[in-house]
Structure 1
Amino acid sequence: MGIEIVNESGHEVDEGGVVDAARFALGEMGVNPLAELSILVVDLDHMTELNRRWMGGTGPTDVLSFPMDDAMPARPDSIEPGTPVLGDIVLSPDVAADQAKEAGHSAADELHMLTVHGVLHILGYDHAEPEQAKEMFGLQNRLLDAWRVKRRAAQSAES
């Protein structure tokens, strides 16, 4: 899985954890291992502008996903030639830090969750309707739980 992360936020971010969470989620979802994903970490002003321009929102948001028009070539059974490009995820560590305080966990945990959330949006999941939200957030929680277990096991093995 080719995952590029660029941090333009001015904040220190657990880039390795963000990439690892994205890679795990994509793998668990059966995405073609040759697929490429871009993750951009931005400051409040940049996120505010992206949210206004592309979503019609006001103020910054926590995560935005910009899937390619057709993510289907990323499926493992795809016979399309070339490397499938999934799209872009944009994260705001400022918004994540505020949300983490409210939720009672670390900003890194919040960014990991937002990364998995963004991956699911890239893959076509949404939460606009109650049934969609139930499916998406349930899947998001299962993926995060499994990733955290795997990550803790790997960290224990290194100790």
Structure 2
Amino acid sequence: MNLVIDFIDDQKKLQEAEIAEVKNLLQFAAEKEGIEENTEVSVTITSNVEIQEINRQYRGKNSPTDVISFAMEEMGEGETEIIGVDQPRVLGDIIISAEKALEQAEEYQHSFARELGFLAVHGLLHLLGYDHETEADEKQMFSRQREILDEFGLER
């Protein structure tokens, strides 16, 4: 399985090993989810200030959050689907606040790597259509997340 990952660390907060682990985890999750070869995803590591602005602008919530996903395959009202021949599938963007991930790692008393991995998989599952708007959806999404993280070996 080869997921094409465009990884941008705006904050230069992550070590090479942390970036490699997130990429490996996303590759693993993509394989588990049966994502086709050469599918593309973008991961951006940013600050609380930046993610708060994104959260305010796109979700109407003026506070920092841990992860936001923008699915390219999700059609908005009035949008036309563009299907290209021999074009790679582009899932979308995952944006993670490194500061929020660190805060939550301390709060939940697990490693920064575990929290970063949790947020990356959470974002990927959103791009694939998982959600947690209802109790049933939340149970399905969080259970799948836990399965992937545990099988990868990134346990709490």
* Same fold (TM > 0.5): yes
Q: CA deviation digits over 1:80-101, x for unaligned, max 9?
A: 6211111000011100111111
* Bigger proportion of residues as helix: 1
The equivalent residue for 1:46 is: 50
Q: Tell me the alpha carbon deviations over residues 100-134 of structure 1, each in whole angstroms, 9 at most, x when there is no partner.
A: 11111111110001000000000000001000000
For this pair of structures, how many residues does the alignment match? 142
Contact preservation (8 Å) 1:10, 1:43: no
Residue in 2 that maps onto 1:59: 63
Which of 2, 5, 14 is 1:3 aligned to? 5
**Is the 2:73–2:90 contact (alpha carbons within 8 Å) kept by the matching residues of 1?**
no
> 2:91 is paired with a residue of what secondary structure?
strand
State the match for 1:110 in structure 2. Answer: 115
Q: What are the residue-to-residue correspondences of 1:69-148 with 2, within 5 Å?
A: 69-70=73-74, 81-148=86-153
Ranges in structure 2 where 5+ consecutive residues have no aligned partner: 76-84
Q: Distance in 1 between matches of 2:43 and 2:14?
A: 15
**Structure 1 residue ranges (4+ consecutive) displaced by more than 4 angstroms after TM superposition:** none
In the TM superposition, residue 140 of structure 1 has moved relative to its aligned partner by 0.3
Q: Does residue 21 of structure 1 match 2:25? A: yes
In 1: Cα distance, 2:126 partner to 2:56 partner? 18
Alpha-carbon distance in 1 for matches of 2:73, 2:10 = 25
**Aligned-CA RMSD value:** 1.7
Amino acid at match of 1:127: H
What is the distance in 1 between the residues matched to 2:119 and 2:11?
16
Alpha-carbon distance between aligned partners in 2 of 1:37 and 1:141, rounded to the nearest angstrom: 21
Post-superposition offset of 1:17: 1.0
Kept in 1: contact 2:55–2:64 (CA 8 A): yes
Q: Distance in 2 between matches of 1:12 and 1:82?
A: 31
Offset at 1:27?
A: 1.1
- Secondary structure of the residue aligned to 1:24 is helix
SS of aligned partner of 2:147: helix
Partners in 1 of 2:12 and 2:55 — Cα distance?
19
Offset at residue 69 of structure 1 (A)? 2.8
Partner of 1:112, secondary structure, is helix
8 A Cα contact 1:21 1:147, kept in partner: yes
Q: What percent of counterpart residues are identical?
A: 35
